[in-house]
Amino acid sequence: MTHTVHIIGGGLAGSEAAWQLANRGVRVRLSEMRGAGLPDGGGRSPAHQGDGLAELVCSNSFRSDDDTANAVGLLHYEMRACNSLMMRAAHEAQVPAGSALAVDRDVFSAHVERALSEHPNVEVVRERIDTLPALGLTIVATGPLTAAGLAASIGAATGADSLAFFDAIAPIVYRDSIDMDICWIQSRWDKKTEASNEDGDYINCPMTRDQYLAFREGLLDGEKTEFKQWEADTPYFEGCMPVEVMAARGEDTLRFGPMKPVGLDNPRDATPEFPQGRWPYAVVQLRQDNKLGTLWNMVGFQTKLKHAAQVALFRTIPGLANAEFARLGGLHRNTFLNSPILLDRQLRLKTAPHVRFAGQITGCEGYVESSAVGMLAGMMTAAELAGEHWESPPRTTAMGALLSHITGDAEASSYQPMNVNFGLFPMPDDKVRKKDRKRAYTDRAKRDLSAWLGNMQVSEPA
């Protein structure tokens, strides 16, 4: 078969991209290194157990399937409307899990493998690709454990020194769950830039000495995740040292690091002697994480605490008692691009626009999100080949919000993998009550998706 598009990686993103292209009459070569029988034993990543396409290695759940009150359930809805192979396979392999979409992993993978292997426009080749192709339309969908050779080639093309490191991720909090009767907005020493908010750049959560000492003990005593054997020799990324590692270095290490209080005057402690307030003993700072201002990152709080321990401990921080988290912290070996800088709005590498990236390597997190970005990459490539104008899905949809986050809405300096969540969407009408907000997001998204599908004619018959 003479192919028109080369897809590297047969996980969920690569498989979905191949399906979308093939159904539009485009011939695809899908390269998957698992099952290649390589003499150096390099045909399978440390996380994979089998050789099937679209193997689920971490969980058998696609999370919530509720498309009326949940962002990932809305993403399911949108992908089904676009004839997603992953959603078809999930339906075929579904097992009881309440409102969650959970699947039999073997049945799921077998369905994807069969659909692509039998498609006349798809050639599945078991081979490892070690360098980015210099010519020809290519979609790279190799995931967070990209093989060393290809990772080095990507690094050379993007100017990155290394794409493999322990990615210690800080939690992200929804802005409207922060108690601003306790916290206040201010930049340290009131220093501002052109990009600053009116009052400053940070939300500050003040701590007394007793609160700080109790919080530090919680960091030291909290239950932590353990490294997998194949992660053990991968170093921390120096800019993302876990907060509990810093806490273990001494009682005051955090107070002279991410929890430094100097230059921050708490206005609620103002007295005649100190009319602008006074310095707290320690401060937890949150920095705006997206342009919409709906998500705020806990500065310097990269952590390997288990999720339940994070929620319990971080809600003891003054002002965060009712915090809702768009993402909790984590620590794992990861390979991903700084996509807001490196990719254009159509997921093309700016320095080599014949190459698109899709899936988790772009900085989306999760099976569903990875599949959705693969689907979009396939649609974009098909439109490019047909000479058609490509219009991205509206930012009010789950697909559009995720794509906007990856390709420009996120802060490049602090870009980290992200699941789809309503914090990535533009806010609905201010008149919508908070308890009705999730339904407002989903109703608006469905209306806008319908109009987009009609204008773009991207939906395929089931």
Last residue of a domain, one of 299, 315, 332: 332
Domain that holds residue 277: 169-332
**Is pLDDT above 80 for 261?**
yes
Measured CA to CA in angstroms, residue 433 lies from 50, 73, 323, 349 at distances of: 48, 21, 18, 41
Identify the pLDDT of residue 114.
Answer: 97
Mean pLDDT, all residues of the chain: 86
**Is pLDDT above 90 for 173?**
yes
**Is pLDDT above 70 for 42?**
no
Task: Give the model's confidence band at 238: pLDDT under 50 very low, under 70 low, under 90 confident, else very high.
Answer: very low
Identify the pLDDT of residue 206.
Answer: 95
* Residue 218 counted as an annotated binding residue: no
3-state secondary structure of 203: strand
**307 contacts 328 by C-beta, under 8 angstroms:** yes
pLDDT > 90 fraction of the chain, expressed in percent and rounded? 58
Mean pLDDT of 295-312: 91
**Is pLDDT above 50 for 237?**
no
**Per-residue model confidence as pLDDT tens digits over 405-443:** 999 877 777 787 788 999 999 998 778 888 899 999 999
* Residue 43 counted as an annotated binding residue: no
Identify the pLDDT of residue 32.
Answer: 94
Q: Is residue 445 part of a domain?
A: yes
Q: Is residue 306 part of a domain?
A: yes
> Is 393 found in the same domain as 280?
no
Contacts of 314 (CB under 8 A, 6+ apart): 171, 298, 301, 320, 323, 325
**Is pLDDT above 50 for 41?**
no
Compute the Cα dihedral for 296, 298, 300, 306 and give only its sign.
negative
Whole-angstrom Cα distance, residue 170 to residue 227?
Answer: 18
Contacts of 286 (CB under 8 A, 6+ apart): 173, 178, 202, 203, 205, 296, 297, 298, 299
Identify the pLDDT of residue 378.
Answer: 98
* Residue 13 counted as an annotated binding residue: yes
Mean pLDDT of 361-373: 93
**Is pLDDT above 90 for 457?**
no
> Is 21 found in the same domain as 149?
yes
Contacts of 176 (CB under 8 A, 6+ apart): 294, 434
Whole-angstrom Cα distance, residue 382 to residue 18?
Answer: 10
Whole-angstrom Cα distance, residue 1 to residue 12?
Answer: 23
> Is 143 found in the same domain as 104?
yes
Identify the pLDDT of residue 44.
Answer: 54
* Residue 10 counted as an annotated binding residue: yes
Mean pLDDT of 10-30: 97
Could you give the number of structural domains in the chain?
2
Closest CA to 203 of 231, 178, 227: 178
Question: What's the start-to-end Cα distance of the chain, in Å?
Answer: 26
Order the strands of the 100-103 sheet from edge to edge. Answer: 61-64, 100-103, 94-95
- What is the DSSP pairing of strand 348-349 with strand 352-357? antiparallel
**93 contacts 104 by C-beta, under 8 angstroms:** yes
Mean pLDDT of 10-32: 97
**Is pLDDT above 70 for 229?**
no
> Is 384 found in the same domain as 251?
no
Closest CA to 402 of 436, 373, 435, 434: 373
Q: Is residue 340 part of a domain?
A: yes
Whole-angstrom Cα distance, residue 28 to residue 318?
Answer: 54
Q: Is residue 233 part of a domain?
A: yes
Identify the pLDDT of residue 432.
Answer: 84
- Interior CA angle at 125 toward 119 and 130, to 5°? 140
Backbone phi, psi, residue 71, to 5°: -65, -40
**Is pLDDT above 50 for 288?**
yes
* Residue 363 counted as an annotated binding residue: no
> Is 312 found in the same domain as 182?
yes
Mean pLDDT of 12-32: 97
> Is 339 found in the same domain as 320?
no
> Is 211 found in the same domain as 122?
no
| Other CB atoms within 10 A of residue 455 CB | 9
**Is pLDDT above 90 for 166?**
no
Q: Which residues is 283 bridged to in the sheet?
A: 206
Last residue of a domain, one of 332, 350, 372: 332
- Least confident among 165-169, 215-219, 277-281, 304-308: 165-169
> Is 365 found in the same domain as 294?
no
> Is 174 found in the same domain as 56?
no
Q: What is the CATH number of the domain that holds 397?
A: 3.50.50.60
- Least confident among 90-104, 150-164, 353-367: 150-164
Identify the pLDDT of residue 159.
Answer: 80
Q: Is residue 461 part of a domain?
A: no
Q: Is residue 462 part of a domain?
A: no
**Per-residue model confidence as pLDDT tens digits over 370-393:** 999 999 999 999 999 999 999 999
Q: What is the CATH number of the domain that holds 298?
A: 2.40.30
> Is 326 found in the same domain as 195?
yes
Last residue of a domain, one of 296, 315, 332: 332
Identify the pLDDT of residue 407.
Answer: 92
Order the strands of the 295-298 sheet from edge to edge. Answer: 184-185, 202-207, 282-288, 295-298, 172-174, 325-327
> Is 394 found in the same domain as 324?
no
Identify the pLDDT of residue 293.
Answer: 86
Whole-angstrom Cα distance, residue 170 to residue 414?
Answer: 10
Buried b (16+ CB within 10 A) or exposed e, 301-315: bbbbbbeebbeebbe
More confident residue, 7 or 436: 7
Q: Is residue 58 part of a domain?
A: yes
* Residue 14 counted as an annotated binding residue: yes
Q: Is residue 408 part of a domain?
A: yes
> Is 50 found in the same domain as 93?
yes
**Per-residue model confidence as pLDDT tens digits over 180-219:** 999 999 988 887 665 566 678 889 999 999 999 999 999 9
